[in-house]
Every structure is written in C-alpha cells, then in structure tokens.
C-alpha cells in the first residue's frame, strides 16, 4: 500500500512537471504534429504496407515477406537496372560531388574576401536552378539532330561524323544524367562547408606552421578538416539524401517516367513505376523500405567517418 501510494505520488510529480513545462510542448507542437503526420506516419505505413498486396481498390491481402522475396529474386528490372544504375549514379555523384563541393569551397576560401561572394554565387546558382526550370536547356543542348548544340559543336569540331541521339541512346543517357546532376550538386552542403571554413581559427594555422606544417595539403589534412568536421558531416548527409532520392532528373531528360531501355532507371523511378503506373502499392512500399534502409545505412556510415572525437 505504501509503495502503491509512492508510485501514485511519483506519477503525480511527473504530471506536475509536464504541466509546468506545457509551454515548451506548445512550442514544439506545430512542428511535431507536421513531423508525425507527414514523416513518421508515412514511414510506419510503408513498413506495414510492405507486407501486403494492395492495389488501392480492393482490400489489402497479407503476404508476409513475399514482396521482399520478390524484390530480391524475381524483379529483373530492379536487380539488373535500378540497383546497378543507382549505385553507379550515387557513387559518382555522391562522393565526387561532395569532394568537388569541399574542394571548391576551400579554393574560394583562399581568395580575398571581397571576390569570394562572386564565385560563391557562380558555383551555387546551378543548384538553385536545377529541375524543371532548366529542363528546356538540356533538351536543346542534347537534342538528337544536328541543331542540338552538342551535336553541332562535335560535328564542326570533327569529333563525330553524324549526330548522336544523346537522350534516346541508353549508352549515353546515364552519363548525361550524371553530368547534369554534378553540375547542380553544389548546394546546401557546399554552403555549409564554405561557411565552416570561415569559422576556423586562423591562429591554428600559425600554430601549425610553427609545428612544422609545410604545405597546404598538410594544412587541409591536419587543421582544416578536423576543424570543420561537423559542417562536413552535415554536408555529407545532405549529399547522401540528395543523391539517393534523385530520380526526377531522368524523367525530365527522357520526357517520360521510364528512361530509354531503363538506362537511367533509379530506385526512386522504380518505386514510382510500381506506385503510379502499375498500382502495386504494397510492392512499391516494400521498395520504399529498401531505399529508406539504404539511405539510413549510408548516412550512418558518414556519421562514423565524420563524427567528432569525444574529447574535441
């Protein structure tokens, strides 16, 4: 009886603290509600639906692990196109785009302050304009007849003998997607790193020079990178998410959700294919779960790489 009343009292104490802190909960409520409704619930639903067969009209039927089994064993387009394409795309655009972002941010930082802004704008602008606004540019540049700018240039330079069908030929399609994405990859992560560089204490460089750091590469390795690790982690996560969720670029270039012979078919396209064209919502959800795990795993890996050491 005694312990019962103390539990009761403990519960009352918790309720009392919660009541005292009600203003805080009021502050986070709008965000947490949107967060729950549009992020948490869809993720939970996706995990649930992944075990069902559902076509949006008839009742869902429970399948167990069948959807995942099908993904791993029967889905030829997924295994032969979506997976290799996504890996090729992500490995090139992700790390390379990220390295480029860092390199460019670092180079810009080496310049006098006044001209930095100009270069920042020039490098960042493409990421602002990516997507729909620019699709007309790519369509005209990579046009398949001799009026296309690239064909025209290559023809007059004598590099090719006849116009190439850049956007219809599976051989080129992926590479064009990669180039266009790289062009637009200097986004939020690039800004974060550039800004991070400006926070590095300059005394560190002087101290480093005294300790025997003799060139800029050593400086980057021993001083710059350790100092801006947190910003680099933020940039890395933005880059992982941005790369793995990419998919619309292929559709924009091809003008249809399915790229020529699946040459630019990424996991996201596969999800949309099953969701909005074939209406196999259960299967599509299972694919979503696979992609979510992939994004989460890769982000965790970046945490490992960039996490600040305990004593820093």
Partner 1 sequence: MELRKLDPFQAFTMLGLTVLALFMLLPIVFIINHAFKPISELFLYPPRFWSNQPTLFNFQQLILKSQTTVIPFSRYLFNSVLTTVLTVAGTIFVSSMAAYAFAKQRFIGRELFFSFTIIALMFAPETVAIPRYLVIANLGIMDTYLVHVLPLLAAPVGVFLMKQFMDQIPNELIEAAKIDGAKEFVVFFRIALPICMPAVATIGILAFQGSWSQTETSALFTFTESMKTLPYYTLTLTNGLANNVVGQGVAAAAGLIMFVPNLVVFLLFQRRVLNTMAHSGIK
Minimum distance of partner 1 from residue 135's CB (angstroms) = 5
Q: Closest approach of Cβ 124 to partner 1, in Å? A: 7
Nearer to partner 1, 92 or 193 (CB): 193
The residue among 1 and 26 lying less far from partner 1, judged by its C-beta, is: 26
Q: How far is the CB of 169 from partner 1 (least distance, A)?
A: 14
Our CB check for partner 1 shows the closer of 27 and 65 to be 27
Q: CA-to-CA distance for 151 and 203, rounded, in angstroms?
A: 52
Tell me how far, at minimum, the Cβ of 157 lies from partner 1, in Å: 12
Q: Which residue lies nearer to partner 1 by CB, 3 or 181? A: 181
Minimal distance, residue 69 CB to partner 1, in Å: 20
* Nearer residue to partner 1 within complex by CB, 41 or 69: 41
- Residue count of the chain: 312
CB of 1 to partner 1, least distance (A): 28
Candidates 276, 275, 295; CA nearest to 49 is 275
> Rounded to the nearest whole angstrom, what is the least distance from the CB of residue 210 to partner 1 in the complex?
20
Q: Which is nearer to partner 1, 66 or 152 (CB)?
A: 152
Q: What is the 3-state secondary structure (H, E, C) of the chain?
A: CHHHHHHHHHHHHHHHHHHHCHHHHHHHHHHHHHHHHHHHHHHHHHHHHCCEECCCCCCCEECCCHHHHHHHHCCHHHHHHHHHHHHHHHHHHHHHHHHHHHHHHHHHHHCCHHHHHHHHHHHHHHHHHCCHHHHHHHHHHCCCCCCCHHHHHHHHCCCCCCCCCCCCCHHHHHHHHHHHHHHCCCCHHHHHHHHHHHHCCHHHHHHHHHCCCCCHHHHHHHHHHHHHHHHHHHHHHHHHHHHHCCCHHHHHHHCCCCCHHHCCCCHHHHHHHHHHHCCCHHHHHHHHHHHHHHHHHHHHHHHHHHCCCCCC
To the nearest 10°, report the CA torsion of 116, 118, 121, 126.
-120
Which CB sits closer to partner 1, 263 or 284?
A: 284
Closer by beta carbon to partner 1, 64 or else 114: 114
Of 224, 219, 218, give the one whose Cα is nearest residue 200: 224
Cβ neighbours, 10 Å, residue 108: 20
User: Would you give the distance in Å from CA 293 to the centre of its chain?
Assistant: 13
Nearest approach in angstroms of CB 119 to partner 1 is 5
2 vs 38 by CB, closer to partner 1: 38
What's the closest the beta carbon of residue 64 comes to partner 1, in angstroms?
A: 19
């Amino acid at each position: 009886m005694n312990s019962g009343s103390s539990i009761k009292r403990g519960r009352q104490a918790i309720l009392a603290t919660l009541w005292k802190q009600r203003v805080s909960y009021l502050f986070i409520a709008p965000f947490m509600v949107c967060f729950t409704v549009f992020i948490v619930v869809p993720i939970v639903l996706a995990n649930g639906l992944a075990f069902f067969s559902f076509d949006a009209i008839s009742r869902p039927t429970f399948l167990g692990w069948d959807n995942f089994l099908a993904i791993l064993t029967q889905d030829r387009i997924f295994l032969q196109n979506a997976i290799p394409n996504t890996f090729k795309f992500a490995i090139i655009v992700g790390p390379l785009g990220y390295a480029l972002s860092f390199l460019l941010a670092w180079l810009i930082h080496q310049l006098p302050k006044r001209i930095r802004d100009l270069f920042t704008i020039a490098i960042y602008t493409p990421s602002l304009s990516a997507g729909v606004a620019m699709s007309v540019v790519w369509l005209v540049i990579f046009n398949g007849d001799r009026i296309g700018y690239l064909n025209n240039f290559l023809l007059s330079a004598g590099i090719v003998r006849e116009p190439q069908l850049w956007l219809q030929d599976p051989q080129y399609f992926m590479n064009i997607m990669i180039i266009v994405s790289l062009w637009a990859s200097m986004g939020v992560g690039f800004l974060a790193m550039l800004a991070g560089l400006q926070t590095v204490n300059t005394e560190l460089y002087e101290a480093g020079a005294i300790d025997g750091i003799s060139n800029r590469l050593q400086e980057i390795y021993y001083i710059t990178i350790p100092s801006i690790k947190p910003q680099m982690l933020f940039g890395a996560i933005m880059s992982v998410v941005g790369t793995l969720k990419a998919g619309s670029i292929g559709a924009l270039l091809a003008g249809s959700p399915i790229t020529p012979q699946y040459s630019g078919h990424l996991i996201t396209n596969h999800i949309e294919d099953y969701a909005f064209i074939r209406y196999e919502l259960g299967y599509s959800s299972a694919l979503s779960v696979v992609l979510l795990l992939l994004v989460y795993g890769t982000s965790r890996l970046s945490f490992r790489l960039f996490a600040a050491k305990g004593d820093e």
